[in-house]
Amino acid sequence: MSIRLERIAKHFGNTQALEPINLDIQEGELVGLLGPSGSGKTTLLRIIAGLESADRSPTPGKIIFGDRDVTNVHVRDRRIGFVFQHYALFRHMSVYDNVAFGLTVMAKKHRPSSGEIRARVFRLLEMVQLQHLANRLPAQLSGGQQQRVSLARALAVKPDVLLLDEPFGALDAKVRQDLRRWLRRLHEELNFTSVFVTHDQEEALELSDRVVVMSNGRIEQIDTPDKLYRSPKNRFVFEFLGDVNHLEGRVQNGVLTCGDAHLNVELPDGDEELLLRPHEVRLTEQPSAESHLPVTITAISPVGAEVRVELEADWLAKPWLATVRHADFERLEMRRGQRLFAHPRQWHRFKDTSPQPSEQTHVA
């Protein structure tokens, strides 16, 4: 079922948690709400669920599921499934009773027979691979198992939309990876519309069909993960979607200078800030005609496909991060304390003042 939000805003007292937001989510889509804490993503999700109400003034917003206006429909009747960050399982009930809860509280005329409830609960438990734990209490399960129970519980009532609030936030990295893959598969199998909240960019990019990037109660950009990463609309999105190195300085006659570092750029005179991803930094033993950026290696992490190197220098306010191929790492015999020269492969520049998307990428 598709979800449509029109002019949804929210104030808590005098603070504005959400600026008026419009959002369209297609049927069967898996959409991630991504943003730092305090960006309003959880508030938005809770408003979609009906656990929180949107502002009624100055103009009331609208929430539409399919062709059903649910703005004033109570959460109990919205036909949603909600998965909480800390599972919120009923602690005094067995796994079976937890999953069956939504079915047993239905009005008598809609409620399935007890045999049917039993069959449906076991089908769900099988789907989340927990049928052997049906009689356990939640406290006797691991975090990952509890989250699977809470997902089965939400799906038991066949919701129109599934909403997940930081579903994997409280789990360790390995379990998170497994559950993510598993949710993706489940989503493809059952094809429900889902919205999930996360502050983890990797999770959002890996899992979502489209990602909604939020900050300060505003939507910054809505795009597919690929587009989002390759063409961020503004500086916030660029910075939030990965590690960023900053180079601030003053441009004069086509040279950006910052302390004893300088770089040739084709920019008009004035103060500039250039941004670089870690993989856009190349390291050599010598400066070049275009750039003179002396740095010192302060930390090395050789784990993974590439070596991550931390760089510091007098002219840098914050250390840089560079990723280097293992071959280059060995060729340059990198070690802590070593002095090298950085060269930007390419850099990005955003003009914060202009309302238009204003990314400028320069390939060196």
User: What SS3 class is residue 283?
Assistant: strand
Closest CA to 25 of 74, 80, 64: 64
Closest CA to 179 of 208, 143, 144: 144
**To which residue do tokens 């250390």 refer?**
319
**Burial of 7 from C-beta contacts in 10 A (0-12 / 13-18 / 19+):** middle
Query: Min. distance of Cβ 139 from other proteins in angstroms?
Result: 4
Residues from 199 through 228 that contact other proteins (CB under 8 A)? none
Residue 140: partners with Cβ closer than 8 Å, 6 or more residues away: 133
Bridge-based pairing state of the strands 30-34 and 210-215: parallel
14 forms part of the interface with other proteins (CB under 8 A):
no
101 forms part of the interface with other proteins (CB under 8 A):
yes
41 forms part of the interface with other proteins (CB under 8 A):
no
Nearer to other proteins, 61 or 81 (CB): 81
Instruction: Please give the single-letter amino acid code of residue 186.
Output: L
**To which residue do tokens 């300085």 refer?**
249
90 forms part of the interface with other proteins (CB under 8 A):
yes
105 forms part of the interface with other proteins (CB under 8 A):
yes
CA angle 6–221–154, rounded 5-degree value: 60
Instruction: Pick the piece of the chain touching other proteins (CB under 8 A) from 85-93, 239-247, 275-283, 340-348.
Output: 85-93
Nearer to other proteins, 139 or 317 (CB): 139
Instruction: Pick the piece of the chain touching other proteins (CB under 8 A) from 17-25, 86-94, 179-187, 260-268.
Output: 86-94
154 forms part of the interface with other proteins (CB under 8 A):
yes
Instruction: Pick the piece of the chain touching other proteins (CB under 8 A) from 134-142, 187-195, 292-300, 319-327.
Output: 134-142
Nearer to other proteins, 84 or 329 (CB): 84
At 163, list the tokens: 């909403």
Q: For the chain, give percent helix, strand, coil, nearest 5.
A: 30, 35, 40
Which of 56, 92, 158, 351 is the binder for other proteins (CB under 8 A)? 92
Closest CA to 163 of 197, 128, 210, 187: 197
75 forms part of the interface with other proteins (CB under 8 A):
yes
User: What SS3 class is residue 187?
Assistant: helix
The span from the CA of 70 to the CA of 89, in Å, is 26
Query: Min. distance of Cβ 101 from other proteins in angstroms?
Result: 6
192 forms part of the interface with other proteins (CB under 8 A):
no
Cβ–Cβ < 8 Å for 180, 166: no
Query: Min. distance of Cβ 151 from other proteins in angstroms?
Result: 12
157 forms part of the interface with other proteins (CB under 8 A):
yes
122 forms part of the interface with other proteins (CB under 8 A):
no
Query: Min. distance of Cβ 82 from other proteins in angstroms?
Result: 4
82 forms part of the interface with other proteins (CB under 8 A):
yes
From residue 348, give the alpha-carbon distance in Å to each of 9, 228, 322, 359. 33, 15, 16, 7
Cβ–Cβ < 8 Å for 70, 63: yes
169 forms part of the interface with other proteins (CB under 8 A):
no
Cβ–Cβ < 8 Å for 88, 150: yes
Nearer to other proteins, 15 or 353 (CB): 15
95 forms part of the interface with other proteins (CB under 8 A):
no
267 forms part of the interface with other proteins (CB under 8 A):
no
Which of 56, 68, 91, 339 is the binder for other proteins (CB under 8 A)? 91
DSSP state letter for 255:
E
238 forms part of the interface with other proteins (CB under 8 A):
no
Contact set with other proteins (CB under 8 A): 49, 51, 75-77, 80-82, 84, 86, 88-92, 101-102, 105-106, 137, 139-140, 150, 153-154, 156-157
